[in-house]
Structure formats: C-alpha cells, structure tokens
Structure 1
C-alpha cells in the first residue's frame, strides 16, 4: 500500500509544479509583446515623429522648459522611466517579502502597465508629452512586475532545471512577439486597404499590445501560488521599501560574489537594453529604413530568439551558463562594431545584423536570470530579485542617456550605437572574474552539475 501511495503523491506534486511553470511561462508571453511591438518597433520612431512635429525652428522641444533635441526625446524618456523604476521597485520587493503575497502586486503592476500601453492609442498630433508620460508609466510597471515574476523562478524550478525553465520562459515571450508582429505587419503595410491612415495603424498596434498584456496576464494569476512566510520571518522583515533595500544590500555584503555578478550584469545588460530600445530609431533615422522593413527585421529577431534562447539553454547544459553568456557578449560586441559600418538604405545587411541579434538576445537574458537564481539565499527571492531588477534598471538609464547625448553632440546615430560597445567589454571582464561555483556555495545552495 505504501509503495503505491508515494509515487501517486510525487506525481501529484510534479503535475502541480509543471502546471505552475506553464502558468509562469505565460507572463513572458503576455508582457513581451510590449517590449517588442511598443518599445522596440513602433514607439521610438513614432514618438520621435510626434516630438519633431512639436519642435521649434531649431528642432527642439521644451518639456518642463528644458530644451531637448526632438531626436533625443525618446531616449531621454526611457532614461527617466528607469530612474523612476529604481525608486519604486524596492517598495514593491519589500511588500512582497513582508507579506509573501506576490500575486496581487503582480496584478496591480501588470494591469497598470497594460492600461498605459492601451492609452497610447490617443498619442497623436503633437502630444509628445503624453507619449513620454505613458512610456514612463508602462516601463515602470513592467519593471515592477518583472521583479515579482522573476522571484518565482527559484520557487518553481529546481537547480538542475532552472536554465531550461528560464530559457523556455524567454522563448514563450519571443514567440508571442513574433505572432503579434505578424499581425502588426499586415495591419501596417495594408493600412490603406483597411481604410486607416499610417498613424492610426501605428496607434492601433501600440494599443493592441496593452490589450494582449492584460488579457494573458489572467493565466499566471490563476496558476502561480503565493507562498506565505513564517510569522517570525514576516516580523524580521518589517520596514519600508528603501529600509528593506538597505537591509538587502547589507545582507549581500555577506555574499560579495553575488554582488560581483550583479555588477557584471548591470554593465552588459545596460548595453542589451539600449540596443533593444534604440534599434528602430537607428534604423529609421540613420539608415533611412521604412517602418515595414523595421517590422520585418524585428520579426526576424523574435523568430530566431526563440531558437536562440532554447539553443543557448542547451549550450549552458553542456558548457555552463557562465561560459555561454561570455560567448554571447563577444557576439554582441561584434554586432555593434558591424552596425557602425552598415550602409544606409540597405535592408539586407540590416536583416543580417538582426539575425545575429536574435541568436544571442534571448539566451543572454534567460541564462543571466537563471544563473542569478542560483546565487540567491533561500527565502530571500523577492528581495534579491528586486536588487537584480535594480541592477537591470539601475544603470539602464545610462545607456539611453549616453546614446541620446552622443547623438545630440555628434548628430550621428552611428557614433551613438558604437558607444555601447563599452558596456559589453566591461561586463565581459567583470563576469569572467566571478567564480560561480564558489558563489553558489556561498549563497548556501546546491551546485548544479554544469554552471
């Protein structure tokens, strides 16, 4: 009797775990459409056009009385959103840790972001300030939701399967991005057939990302479980967001190797995020490519990123996550160097570059997330992933700011894109110095066979 009962219980636990993992994947499916359709494809060029329509004779707009080159407004708005996010994220992380209730906070941040994205339908004429405001709200909401979402990873996946689970999540996100981009491409290229202006087609594409985000968020909210903390743990974690952040940083000082990884991630991920957010502006403004070409290029990135994320996950299983990430950073450096020399008006070479980006994009992000999850002390997932997202966003304002300033002073997006190589070089050097096996043991976690 006993021998039949144990497997049944184990099977039940496995089924429940798989169900929760599948629900976790769907949040990547839900929110990645914002990153793809809105942040990477449509909003940069469109908001730049709106800002230029509101600019003075010298090409400047004046938000809050500050003169800003219209061509730099989008990059600066991204920087502002990052600064706001690093203020808000510790508060959300502290609340999640103190109560153990991540799902209500995930729902709040997800639906606030989805609503702001849907509101981009009203971005027309010279309403560049409205566009900047909605961008800030959506980006901050996404950042907070990702703190909570990422903190589930160590709870739903064991050490040996974490690279694979994280990679599947990213693959789900890129698959969704591909699907929605196909619909966007049909609507945008055939807007006349639908009786729509080009601007109206763009606004519909922007708003539809918000509707998608909100609709599919229902699935993870049904399947993910909150894990209540013991009463003594709750009492030990009382305090405000910044108070908890200070306590987390103090605790991290006992894990200097985890801090070393965060510093490396902070550097190279800033480069990744800036490439994602500024690629369409570079393609449209510097290379003279039309919106349809940019959509096809980003679609190519999304399709290849699905295979890239899964493929790099398998490489990590063979060579370890750290070595695989280091290899991807070499590829990123070569991509940016090649981007500087891309000929204007030549979509073929832009597509070639997009193919290389797609190959390494998902895997770099997925493996960084899973590698960090091994460096988190048990029971402190939300705290540490708040710091991880702070590291993600904490200097991600610097990349867009450097990009915008380089353009403002040189008038060249080529110089701006080349400046980002610095982030990958420094990130490579810092990551190579982290002894990850010792870092995992230092965090009190079991070391996987390959890491």
Structure 2
C-alpha cells in the first residue's frame, strides 16, 4: 500500500512545509498502533494483525520522508557519511530495547507475567520511537522545496504525470533504480530468509535470535566504516565492493553444512548490509533533483519494497527443484550480478533543476 502511494505522497510533500507534516502523520500512526497492541486481548489475533499492518504502514510511510530529509540536512560531499551514521545508529538503537526485553525475559528480574512483559516491550518501543524522533522534529527543516500552490494535490498529480511522461530526461536515475531493484532484492532476501535457512540447518530458534542480533551489532561499526571509506574512494566504488561481498556470500552458501558456517555467513552479511543500504540512499540523493526529493524517494521506495518479491521466489523455486536450500541462496548471485553490471553504467551526475532553498526566491 505504501509503495503504491509513495510517489503520490512524495510529490505532494515536495511543497513547502508538507514534508515534516507527512513525516509526523505517519510517525504518529506507527506509534499509536504500536501502543494499541497493549490493549488487544490475546485471543483477538485478527485485530492484532490489523494493528500490526497499520503500524507498519506508519513506519514505512514515515521512512519515505525520513530518507528524503537527507538532502536537507547535508551537502553532497557529506551525504555518504551522514547516511551511514543514520543506518549505523539505527542498527544499534534497535538492539537496545530488544536486548532489554530478552534480558528481562531470560532472568525474570521483573516480577511480572509474560503477558505484562510483552505489553511492556510494545510500550517501550513506542516511547523509544517518540523520544528519538524529537531531535528531528525540533532541529530538521525542509530546505529544498517547491513554492506553495493553491491546489497542491491537483498540481502534484500533474507533476507526477509529467515526470512519468518525461522519464527519458531521467535516464540515469531510472538506470540506478533498476540496478537497485536487483541488488537490493538479493540483500533483502538473504536477510529475510536467513531464519528459514537456519532452521533447515537445525539451528534452534534461540540461537537464530542471537545470530540476527549479533549481525545487527556487527553492522553498526561496519556501516560507519563504509561511510568513511566512501569519502576516500567514492560511494559507487563501495557499493560495488558490497555487491561483490554478497556474491561471495551466495557462493559460500553452497558449502554451508554446520551452525558455524551459518555464523560466518551472518557475520559477512553484517559487514556489508548497512553499508550497501546507506550508500545506496545517499548515492540516489546526489543524482535526483533536490526540490523534488520526496517524489523521487517515493519511486526509490517502490523499487525497494517490490524488490522483495523476486528474490524469495527465485530462492524457493531453486531450493524446491534441487532439494537443497543452499542452492536457493546461491541462485541469488544472479540478482547481484545483474544489479552490479547495471550499476556500473550509472553516473554520479546531479539531475538539472531550478533549486529553491529556504529563504531564496
């Protein structure tokens, strides 16, 4: 739902003052329905599922505008670094409340029932979400924008239609999005299907949770390292390095047999997952028209979300045909190869635009 609406919402948000309003709207939707989990009786699973979907809509919707704020808070020269720090601290921050919950659950340090503990975890997540959004609300402003229009919705649809009609003008952006579609599909598939693969290797649920948690902790420093190296070698070079590491991961998967092999694969994923996500976001921010960043990050969102279809399908079909999950993972190398080759032809050239910055007319 969010992927289909993203370009429309993004196009409207390119008007002055709209970006933060839309960001806040979706943030509060996500927070509200996370809190709502606490009040759902345990046997009302369908209602809980509905609230979960709405909370995800809030999260995914807010991320469209969060990503597009990247062009407002920094320059092209510092964009890789800022994007990398954003992802890195996101990985670290998401671990802290989760670890707190696991420790309380395992030690029984709090004299409460499991139901109360789970409800507390949902409440803590919502509070965490709000508290760490306050700095953005207070300090971040929309710098690049389109001047206000008397009919913003109608004008937005017209601008979106014009963009789609004149896609030839944005060949470089389209090429990046197609390349991104392929390689990020591989990235997301490996992360999302990791638990299923671990189960096939006989790894327990508890161990899988620990592995995925450690992977995020590993991603924290390595994402920052990617951002630092991009300053010296360029974001494009580092994205290609990350794609190469994922190709190695796919090949290594063929030979996996033990839990130790799974740990090695997970750590390799941790070294490059955050880096490729962060640098892809900043690379895209450099080549799009900044006054229309929300519109184009809307397309970015579409390609990122819908990419999660092809990879799992490919992996599933190959695994079924061969009878080995390893070969299913290995088949993802095709996605990285296609994405990497296409990305070679993308140029880090900003699209032409008439910039309207805050205070300039």
TM-score range (shorter-chain normalised) is 0.7 to 0.9
Match of 1:15 in 2: none
SS in 2 for 1:298: helix
What is aligned with 1:52?
A: none
Question: Where do 5+ consecutive residues of structure 2 fail to align?
Answer: 355-361
Instruction: Report which stretch shifted further, 405-414 or 348-357.
Output: 405-414
Measured against aligned partners, the alpha-carbon deviations of 1:349-390 in whole angstroms (never above 9, x if no partner) come to 322222111110111011111111110123111111111112
Matches within 5 A, 1:271-290: 271-283=186-198, 285-290=199-204
Q: Is the 8 A contact 1:90 1:242 kept in 2?
A: no
- Structure 2 vs 1, CA of residues 423 and 194 (structure 1 numbering), >3 Å: closer, same or farther? farther
Going from structure 1 to structure 2, the CA distance change for 1:317 and 1:204 (only over 3 Å counts) comes to: same
Pair 1:320 & 2:237 matched? no
- 1:381-392 to 2 correspondence within 5 Å? 381-392=293-304
1:444, distance to aligned residue in structure 2 (A): 5.9
1:305 to 219, 225, 231: 219
Give the direction of change, closer, same or farther, for the CA distance of 1:255–1:228 in structure 2 (3 Å limit). Answer: closer
1:100, 1:227 within 8 Å by CA — same for their partners in 2? no
Could you say what secondary structure the match of 1:225 adopts? Answer: coil
Hey, what does 2:270 align to over in structure 1? Answer: 358
**Is the CA contact (8 Å cut-off) linking 1:97 and 1:237 kept in structure 2?**
no
Equivalent residue for 1:213?
A: 129
What residue in structure 2 maps to residue 342 of structure 1?
256
2:68 is aligned with 1:154: no
Structure 1: gaps (5+ residues): 1-83, 446-451
Do 1:300 and 1:351's aligned partners in 2 also have CA atoms closer than 8 Å?
A: no
After TM superposition, the score normalised by the length of structure 2 is 0.84
Higher relative contact order (CA 8 A, sep 6+): 2
CA gap of 1:93–1:186, structure 2 versus 1, over 3 A, is same
Give aligned pairs, total: 354
Structure 1 residues 248, 100: closer, same or farther in 2, change over 3 A? Answer: farther
Query: How far does residue 405 in structure 1 lie from its aligned partner after superposition?
Result: 6.3
Please point out which of 6, 25, 31 is paired with 1:108.
25
Separation (CA, whole Å) in 1 of partners of 2:52 and 2:254: 28
SS at match of 1:343: coil
Match of 2:169 in 1: 254
**1:169 aligns to what?**
86
Q: 3-state DSSP class of the match of 1:239?
A: helix
Q: CA deviation at 1:158?
A: 1.1
Distance, in Å, in 2 between the alignment partners of 1:162 and 1:124 is: 45
Q: Distance in 1 between matches of 2:314 and 2:155?
A: 32
Relative to structure 1, the CA distance from residue 102 to residue 378 in structure 2 (aligned partners, 3 Å threshold; closer, same or farther) is closer
Kept in 2: contact 1:120–1:131 (CA 8 A): yes
What is the alpha-carbon distance in structure 1 between the residues aligned to residue 109 and residue 251 of structure 2? 38
SS at structure 2 position matched to 1:379? helix
- Alpha-carbon shift at residue 126 of structure 1 (Å): 8.6
Would you say 1:222 and 2:138 are equivalent positions?
A: yes
Shift of 1:343: 2.5
Equivalent residue, structure 1, for 2:61: 144
Distance 1:152 1:88 in 2: 18
Summarize deviations over 1:6-58 as a string: whole Å, max 9, x none. xxxxxxxxxxxxxxxxxxxxxxxxxxxxxxxxxxxxxxxxxxxxxxxxxxxxx
Going from structure 1 to structure 2, the CA distance change for 1:342 and 1:214 (only over 3 Å counts) comes to: farther
Equivalent pair of 2:184/2:304 in contact (CA under 8 Å): yes
3-state SS of the aligned residue for 1:342? coil
Distance 2:54 2:311 in 1: 19
Q: For residue 339 of structure 2, what is the aligned residue in structure 1?
A: 427
Question: For the Cα contact (< 8 Å) 2:212–2:266, is it kept in 1?
Answer: yes
Q: Deviation per CA, 1:240-288: give whole Å up to 9, x if none.
A: 76654333333442121111111111111122222233323332x3233
1:128-168 Cα offsets, whole Å, 9 max, x none, are: x4565344333332222111111111121112111111111
Q: Is 1:308–1:359's contact at 8 Å kept on the other side of the alignment?
A: yes
Question: Is the 8 Å Cα contact of residues 191 and 201 (structure 1) preserved in structure 2?
Answer: no
Q: Is the 8 A contact 1:188 1:292 kept in 2?
A: no
Helix, strand or coil at the partner of 2:23 = helix
CA distance in 2, matches of 1:336, 1:251: 38
Q: CA RMSD in A?
A: 3.3
**Cα distance in 2, alignment partners of residues 275 and 425 from structure 1:** 15
